[in-house]
Amino acid sequence: MRVTVLGYQSPYPGPQGATPGYLIETDEVKLLLDCGSGVLSQLGVHLPVYEVDALLLSHYHHDHVADVGVLQYGLMVHQLFGQRPADKPLPIYAPDKPEGQTKTLTYRDATRFFPVHAETSLSIGDAHISFLRTDHGDGDPCYAMRLVANGKTLVYGADSGPGTNWSGFVDGADLFICEGTYLDHNLPSRPNGHLSVRQAAELAQAHHCRSLLITHLFHGYPESDVLAQAEAFVAGPVYAARIGLKIEL
Ligand SMILES: [Zn+2]
Ligand SMILES: [Zn+2]
C-alpha cells in the first residue's frame, strides 16, 4: 500500500498549498481520502483524475470537501472525452448527515453517493474499510477510517478531538495519519475537536502504532517544530505532512 499526501493544511491552503487529501494505492485500487482545497491539482501530479476508483469523505467541513465540485465537473468531462466510461460514476462514500450535503454528492453520471455510518464496513477491491465516529464538529458526524489491504493497516484519523474513543480501532496500525492542529503555544485551554502535535504523538505511542504521519497543520508551522513536539512517539518513524510525501507500507 502506498500513501501520497496531496494536501494536509488547515484551515486554508497556504501558497501552492492544499487542505487535506490523501491518495491511497493498493495492489488493486486507487482511493482518495478527503478532497480539500487544492487537492485536485495535486492529484494530477500523480495520476489522471479519471483513474480514481472511489472517494471517501470523513466529514463535510470545507477544508475536506472544497474540491468535490470540480472533481465532479472533471469526471463529467472525461466521460465526454471517452476516458472514463459514461456508465461508471465515481462512488463517493461519505457521512449520511447532514442531508443537504449528501444531496450534492450524486452528480449526473459522474458521481454517486453511498452513505457511511459508524457500523459501515465495506470492501473496494482488496481494501477493507471500517469507520469510527470522532470527537469533532457541532453535532454532525466525522468518521475516522481504518483501511486494511494486503496485510497492512492504515488508520486515517480525520479531524478528532481528545474525546475520541480509539480503543481497538487504531491499535497496532502500520501507519496512523493523525491530526496535529495545534502546537504547544496555540493549544486552546478548552478542547475544540482537534488535537495538538504533542497529543497526536502521545496517542500514537499509547496505541502501539508502528509509524505516525502528523497532518492537518497550519501552513506556517516550521517542520522542525512539528517534529520536535512529536517526541513522545518513539515506536517508529514519524513524518510531518508535506505535499507530495509518499509512504510505502
Ligand atoms: Zn473538521
Ligand atoms: Zn479539518
CA–centroid distance, 136 to ligand 1, in Å, is 7
Q: Does 64 score more than 90 pLDDT?
A: yes
Distance between Cα 194 and ligand 2 center (Å): 9
pLDDT one-digit tens code per residue, 8-27? 999 999 999 999 999 999 99
CATH number for the domain that contains residue 116: 3.60.15.10
Instruction: Please count the helices (runs of H) and the strands (runs of E) in the chain.
Output: 6, 14
Distance 214 CA to ligand 1 centre (A): 16
Domain with 92 in it: 2-248
How many domains does the chain fold into?
1
Asked whether residue 42 carries a pLDDT value surpassing 90, the answer given is yes
Per-residue pLDDT, 132: 98
What is the percent of the chain with per-residue pLDDT over 90, rounded to a whole number? 99
Q: How high is the mean pLDDT of the chain?
A: 97
pLDDT tens across 51-63, in order? 999 999 999 999 9
For a pLDDT cut of 70, what percent of the chain falls above it?
100
Given a cut of 90, whether residue 138 has pLDDT beyond it is no
Please name the residues in contact with 42: beta carbons below 8 A apart, sequence gap of 6 or more: 6, 7, 18, 21, 243, 244
Residue whose cell numbers read 492537518:
216
111-to-26, 54, 81, 86 alpha-carbon distances in Å? 21, 9, 16, 11
Starting from the CA of residue 179, give the closest ligand: 2
Are 53 and 124 contacting, i.e. CB atoms less than 8 angstroms apart?
yes
